[in-house]
Amino acid sequence: MAQVLEFKLPDLGEGLTEAEIVRWLVEVGDVVAVDQPVVEVETAKAMVDVPCPYGGVVTARFGAEGTELPVGAPLLTVAVGEPADGRPAGDASPAKPAESEDARGTAPATEGSGNVLVGYGTAKAPARRRRVRPPQTPPAAPTASTVPSVPAANGRSRTAGPAAERARTPGAVDGPVPVISPLVRRLARQNGLDLREMTGSGPEGLILRADVEYALRAAAAQGRPGTTAGEPRTGRAGAGAPAPVADTSGVTRVPLKGIRGAVADKLSRSRTEIPDATCWVDADATELMRTRAAMNAAGGPRISVIALLARVCTAALARFPELNSSVDTEAREIVRYGDVHLGFAAQTDRGLVVPVVRDAHTRSAESLTAEFARLTEAARTGTLTPAELTGGTFTLNNYGVFGVDGSTPIINHPEAAMLGVGRIVPKPWVHEGELAVRQVVQLSLTFDHRVCDGGTAGGFLRYVADCVEQPAVLLRTL
């Protein structure tokens, strides 16, 4: 007898609580093997292929592409073991057939998933038995004259069946509320919404955050702060038509989710928690550009400008370690790091990301060039892992690629400083007492004033400018 197992969205690590379905890799009826990727999801960190820890036949999928699911929500169900006709449920799956009903509760499984994603992937199959929900005979289709039209969460009307009729009866408040996410409950509670009076648009009537936000907008259109248990619902499963709303033609609302939402949260937190200050200086980068040209003319892999600037950063941080730190607000301590994990801002089609070059202080200019190129390509293709996007101790921001000279960037929380580099352009410059055209760059340092004073920040930036103007200064630390 086949056993139907439910695979839930696992904890993908790094404190992530939700993910958006980008693309399904399997269809209902497909045979999957243990650890076969079944869905591609986008988290606030990166794109991830999620493998299934079970082998068998896919019997159901939960959530369409573009749906945002919380961790722990069902992704799909898989039938494993022997069906009634004796054929294995997944001939291509390495998973073993299910044992008899009496033995399943005691005999340990010999095969499990090799996954390392947090939340599943143990060496044993789950010992808990699951009941297979018996198929229910669908009720006779009601006629169009007896079934009202119910507005769905996306604004399109759908036909309300017996379940929707029961949801509007007084007895419906005694049943469980189909909500998984605690964020949805809190949002509804803060705005006076009664979730028992709502019909969700998710799988099996699951109430999503979008449903609550839709109800709040509908309530606001009627001049009410929220929908309570004693009030009729509007724009959801109520029998009445939605109230007319103000003309919003030409207005587009873009949800803050995925990478865009993560960036918004992090920048807002940085502005709220960090008392930052910025100092800047113009530097003559002519000698730096000549040095790079000489290095590239010698043969071998070409050295990038950002790699040379990164090498300058690591040397400066060795002299001013106060800036390679963060602040532990709970312990009221400054945490200084011995290693430099250098983040760099990379603009992609999916938004701004900050990949991290591990142990940048131990790398040569050639090694830094190769690592920058690898991480930049991974950022563009959306294949950066969460480990490659976290753990930075200092950030280098080359906004000169956008054709601008200066900026006052926001610190990448919880780091303590960020070096900004503008474009390198020919400008009039006094060189050796005479006016000349030189390659000039503007450098800016934004720093957390809690970790150091202006003297330290100014000393760091001046040392960086000296190395840019006279790269031979770096020879003292090589």
Active-site annotation, residues = 449, 453
Task: Tell me whether residue 85 is exposed, middle or buried, using C-beta atoms within 10 angstroms of its C-beta: 0 to 12, 13 to 18, 19 or more.
Answer: exposed
A 10 A CB-CB count for 236 gives: 26
* Cβ–Cβ < 8 Å for 112, 53: yes
Beta-strand (E) ranges in 323-433? Answer: 325-328, 333-336, 342-344, 346-348, 351-353, 356-357, 394-397, 417-421, 425-431
Two tokens, residue 60: 């159901």
Beta bridge partners of 315: none
The phi and psi torsions of 320 (rounded to 5 degrees) equal -130, 70
Angle, CA of 251, 252 and 256, to the nearest 5°: 140
| Residue (of 382, 413, 134) closest to 270 by Cα position | 413
Please report where in the chains the tokens 């960037």 appear, as a residue.
Answer: 409
Q: What is the DSSP letter of 399?
A: G
> What is the SS3 assignment for 37?
strand
Q: Is the dihedral of CA 48, 54, 55, 56 positive or negative?
A: negative
* Cβ–Cβ < 8 Å for 268, 412: no
The phi and psi torsions of 72 (rounded to 5 degrees) equal 100, -10
Q: Are strands 417-421 and 394-397 parallel, antiparallel or unpaired?
A: parallel
The two most distant CA atoms of the chain are separated, in Å, by 94
For 29: left if phi > 0, alpha if psi spans -120 to 50, otherwise beta; the answer is left
A 10 A CB-CB count for 29 gives: 8
The rounded distance, in Å, linking the Cα atoms of 447 and 442 is 17
